[in-house]
Amino acid sequence: MKILVCVKQVANPETSLEADSVGRWIQESDTVEFRLNRFDEYALEEAMLIKEAYPDVTIDAISVGPSRVNEAVKQALSKGADNGIHILQKEKGYCPANITAQLIAGYAGLKSYDLILAGVMAEDDMLCQVGPMVASMLSLPCAVSVISEKLNFKNHVVEVDCEMEGGMLEKAVLTLPAVLTIQSGINRPRYPSLSNILRANSQELTVIKADNPKKHHMKETLLSFKRPEKAMQTVMFEGTAEEKAEKLITFFHKKSLLK
């Protein structure tokens, strides 16, 4: 059985992030750190759990982006993936979900994967689109926000539970091959082992140069990227409890929140 796990490298939101000169994405600098998308770690861990249950499983990790993205693929290898694929893009900056999906689908469609896994979303754009788009492009069944899965090799299907709004749960049976987007909390991602770290550092990645973006059908354009403006400032009241209560009531009256 062959599993493909789609991973993405994202900027660490805990570092200082600023918009670039044209206001279309973050400004990359020495102070900006990049790491593996947290949601994709759950997808990778789910693949590892399947491999532990079925030893004949092979796991490939794939990512799209500039040269720095090879670190995300190596991180996937350090967590247990068998092979790493980097679809290399020359351009940095925002990449629309449909372009990423087209590049992944173009590779996956030639490799006969039994299962394609992805995180439910990326931390940077939070669009939740790449997994379903890959499924659509490859004409494969797809389940999103999966919180549990069970493979049935006898019938060649995968049974899944999917999280829905309002606390509802959807149960579905998908014929393999299929695409699943994995929700956080389904498992506990493991730490890289020393042996896998050493292997990841020495293992060669499969590097594929991405097509010119102009060859793909662009369905969206990022117009601007900026920090949200502060809606209001915090107001602090000093004094005793009685004095602060009186000041709070006066403040509400001035804001027309109390009559």
Angle at 77 between CA 73 and CA 82, to 5 degrees: 115
The pTM assigned to this predicted structure is 0.83
CA distance linking residue 2 with residue 114, whole number of Å? 5
Is the Cβ–Cβ distance between 4 and 46 less than 8 Å? no
CB-count burial class (<10 Å; 0-12, 13-18, 19+) for 160: buried
User: pLDDT tens string for the chain (259 positions)?
Assistant: 999 999 999 988 777 777 777 777 777 777 788 899 999 999 999 999 999 999 899 999 999 999 999 999 999 999 999 999 999 998 787 888 999 999 999 999 999 999 999 999 999 888 899 999 999 999 999 999 999 999 998 899 999 999 998 889 999 999 999 999 999 999 999 999 999 999 999 999 999 998 765 556 667 777 777 777 777 677 888 899 998 898 888 888 887 777 6
Report the pLDDT value the prediction gives residue 212, as an integer from 0 to 100. Answer: 65
Determine the 3-state secondary structure of 256 from DSSP: coil
Q: Does domain 2-215 have CATH number 3.40.50.620?
A: yes
3-state SS record for 106-140: HHHCCCCCCEEEEECCCCCCCCCCHHHHHHHHCCC
The answer to whether 145 and 163 are in contact (CB under 8 A) is: yes
Give the start-to-end residue ranges of the domains of the chain: 2-215
Residue type, 127: L
What are the structure tokens assigned to 71, written together?
């670190």
